Structure 1
Amino acid sequence: MGKLNRRDFVKTLGAASLATAGLSMPFLRASAGEKPFQGKTLRLLTWSDDTGLAALRNIAATFEEKTGAKVIADRTGSTSEMVAKLKAAGDRPQYDVITLAGVGAEGLASAGLLEKPDLNRLPNLKDVPEKYQTGAAGHGIGYLLWCNSLIYNPNTVGDAPTSYASLWDKDLAPNIFLPPPNWTEAMDLIIIAAHLAGGDAHNVEPGFKKLAELKDRVVTLGENPNQIAELFRTGALDMGGLYAPAFFPKQIRDPNYHLGATFGMKEGFYTDLMLSVMPKVRPGEDDVTYAFINHSLDPVVQGKMAEDIYNGPVNSKAVISAEARQSPYILTPEQIADKAIIHDNAFLATVHDQWIRRYTEIFSS
């Protein structure tokens, strides 16, 4: 995800070490042409999906080119697999950095497997708003925002929806999809429905009643993003959400898929803070590990990630090109500051099981 277990649909593993063009890294004091970490190695665990591949292109590869370090990356498909890998390693050094969703970081931190980073060794953190700087009780460093929106078919819906209430407009969108019950997106949709029905996160009964109004129009609960993209391509879907454009960055650029997405809802859009964490037992050197995490927060790197994979940048000075700013899928620091709503993971943990049960009952009966 990850996003509870939203990435469980990907099961591949891999390893990669990349090198390509470099980016500005003001925290490195090496003279021109000198590569301060030549001969050093950093071991990274990241996603096997497009988000992980984007991290290899835009973070790992540029770090290698600028510093001379070699990044060896393992990739896996779910937060639960990442947690299992680190737990299985025991006292054996395995990874220097793991990028994962907040729920996984919280689990690893509570198990005593993570080191709490020294924030003074991350100078780029000064440009990250405080609420995005850390997670998992200070054990994780925020490096991007997983952002969810409404997905719609421009051919049938027309203009981008401006409110979540559009999901309930059967004339506008007769065929819809919703997130599966065990995803965090479903938790957010429950809260949205509650607000639309006059309740709120602590009074969700009106929300469940409102969600039940959608039952007869739901084609599928979107466990598989590739399937969702195909349903839009064939015209079987008009709208859906909450869902992240980051799930299908290639298809959304292809007009044959009839995929549109918008973060322009008047109610705002929901985000989940993705984290970089440092296992307590690491094979590499601290200086390389901190430099890598700091590099992930570089404003140019942050902008490249946003443009490549439709993740929200956490750095308030992220460099987004003028062309990218015209895209409805690419979030700018200004949009995030104005409209982003971050998950209250601590609260969701207290209601998660109950809400999953209620949501499942609505759409399985």
Structure 2
Amino acid sequence: MTKLNRRTFGKLVLGAGVAAPFHFTRTAIAQPKPGDELVVGIWGGTQERIVRSLIEPQLVDKYGCTVSYVLGGTGERRARAYAERGRPSFDIVYLNIYESRQAVTDGVTQAPTDAVPNYEHLYDAAKIGGYGVAFNPCTLVYKGEKASSPITSWEDLFNEEWAGRFAAPTLPGMQGMAALLMLAKTYGGDEFNVDVGFEKLAELKPFAAIQTSAESAWQMFEQDIADITVEFGSLAQRAKESTNPEIVIADPTEGMCAAMNFACITTGAPNQVLAEEWINLHLSPEVMQEYMREAYYSPTVDNVEIPEDLAGKIMTPEQVENLVAFDWEHIAAQQAAWSSRFTREIAG
């Protein structure tokens, strides 16, 4: 594990094989023609609405193509992409930070290149798998009215006031992975020694509940079932402003767990040029601004300004560099085993 500094991620990018200049590696690819259909696998809700309203119309107007969507959770999308490896029905699949790096290694998706012009504006951290489109770190989130003092450490989760009030995020899932990894880090372990993370999770039992999504967590807060969980900071900020003003987003001294959404082009994508154009539009300042306003996602490119009215809600480049990163490829390889262990030892 490490911080998201440029030197570290420069090494990761080189290891991922994306350093070679595009003009040395790309072969001739057929140009789009009217009627071509781009297939995009993405989450529903806010993200779907943004890409439908801002990206799809520009692509359709320019090429006369159509766009179809496969909506749902990351797990289903990833499983389908792997099942179709070498003969993909997706052109673009959106994955999380650790799944995107593994998908490149497994030949399911392509490493990022400067065939996408806005690649040059991506932070190094956003080049480790596909094309990072949103920073969205995970941290402790709690009901401020229930706290005797602000949470400043992951160790505070074990304070008596939270006993029996923790909504444990499930594995697989980025929130559950963040809880496991950050507890391991806080108590002397890391991604290569997660036993301590499992042990500390077990110490928090009995849980108020097992939560499977941010929506379920906020419902538990509102219904007084639970008072604290691990969630995406952006989703917590949105909930704080829309439904539960008592929500507090912790900034622990040990750090927040890095998390990011990636747009990935499948290996053998039927519509390579359309896919590159789609991602280039996604990385444009216009779309980044909309992501900030609608989802509080922090930008992954260095050529967009954070609006003054969003200051304190969107991560600055300095804050991004202080996120805690782990060996995501190792984590992806261990995901199935850790998920099974979570079911046996923690959820039961």
Give TM class, smaller chain: 0.7 to 0.9
> Is 2:82 the partner of 1:96?
no
Q: Which residue of 1 aligns with 2:71?
A: 76
Matched residue SS, 1:271: coil
Matched residue SS, 1:326: coil
Cα deviation 1:129-172 (Å, max 9, x = unaligned): 2232141xxxx222223421212112322775322222111226
Q: Which residue of 2 aligns with 1:25?
A: none
Matched residue SS, 2:320: helix
Q: Please report how far the alpha carbon of residue 77 of structure 1 lies from its aligned counterpart in structure 2 after TM superposition.
A: 0.9
**1:302 counterpart letter in structure 2:** M
Matched residue SS, 1:266: coil
Q: Please report how far the alpha carbon of residue 44 of structure 1 lies from its aligned counterpart in structure 2 after TM superposition.
A: 3.7
Q: Which residue of 1 aligns with 2:4?
A: none
Q: Quick check: 1:46–1:74 contact (8 Å CA) kept in 2?
A: yes
Matched residue SS, 1:312: coil
Mind listing any 5+ residue stretches in structure 1 that lack a counterpart? 1-36
Q: Please report how far the alpha carbon of residue 42 of structure 1 lies from its aligned counterpart in structure 2 after TM superposition.
A: 5.6
Q: 229, 245, 253: which one pairs with 1:240?
A: 229
Q: 124, 127, 131: which one pairs with 1:133?
A: 127
Matched residue SS, 1:120: coil
> Is 2:212 the partner of 1:223?
yes
Q: Quick check: 2:147–2:161 contact (8 Å CA) kept in 1?
A: no
Distance 2:317 2:61 in 1: 25
Q: Which residue of 2 aligns with 1:348?
A: 331
Cα deviation 1:156-189 (Å, max 9, x = unaligned): 2277532222211122665111111333433332
Q: Please report how far the alpha carbon of residue 304 of structure 1 lies from its aligned counterpart in structure 2 after TM superposition.
A: 2.2
TM-score (norm 1): 0.72
Output aligned runs, 1:245-324, within 5 Å.
245-247=233-235, 251-255=239-243, 257-258=244-245, 260-262=247-249, 264-284=251-271, 286=273, 288-324=274-310
- Percentage of pairs with the same residue: 20
Change in 2 beyond 3 A, CA 1:283/1:198: closer
Q: 113, 116, 127: which one pairs with 1:122?
A: 116
Distance 1:163 1:70 in 2: 50
**1:178 counterpart letter in structure 2:** A
Cα deviation 1:36-55 (Å, max 9, x = unaligned): x9967561413343353254
Change in 2 beyond 3 A, CA 1:326/1:120: closer
Q: Quick check: 2:59–2:277 contact (8 Å CA) kept in 1?
A: no
Change in 2 beyond 3 A, CA 1:320/1:350: same
User: More displaced, 84-93 or 174-183?
Assistant: 84-93
Change in 2 beyond 3 A, CA 1:219/1:67: same
TM-score (norm 2): 0.75
Greater fraction of residues in helix: 2
Q: Quick check: 2:43–2:71 contact (8 Å CA) kept in 1?
A: yes
**1:100 counterpart letter in structure 2:** L
Change in 2 beyond 3 A, CA 1:274/1:41: same
**1:244 counterpart letter in structure 2:** F
Mind listing any 5+ residue stretches in structure 2 that lack a counterpart? 1-31
Q: Quick check: 2:86–2:267 contact (8 Å CA) kept in 1?
A: no
Change in 2 beyond 3 A, CA 1:301/1:42: farther
**2:328 counterpart letter in structure 1:** N
**1:335 counterpart letter in structure 2:** Q
Q: Which residue of 2 aligns with 1:6?
A: none
Q: Quick check: 2:136–2:232 contact (8 Å CA) kept in 1?
A: yes
Matched residue SS, 1:290: helix
RMSD over aligned Cα atoms = 3.5
Matched residue SS, 1:165: helix
Distance 2:81 2:192 in 1: 35
**1:252 counterpart letter in structure 2:** K
Q: Which residue of 2 aligns with 1:194?
A: 184
Cα deviation 1:42-100 (Å, max 9, x = unaligned): 61413343353254256525744985765513132123432454566687774433322
Q: Which residue of 2 aligns with 1:331?
A: 315
Distance 1:209 1:285 in 2: 46
Change in 2 beyond 3 A, CA 1:102/1:194: closer
Cα deviation 1:270-326 (Å, max 9, x = unaligned): 12332222234444462x432221222223422321332233321133322111113
Distance 2:287 2:263 in 1: 15
User: More displaced, 63-72 or 124-133?
Assistant: 63-72
Report which structure shows greater RCO (CA 8 Å, sep ≥6). 2
Q: Quick check: 1:307–1:320 contact (8 Å CA) kept in 2?
A: no
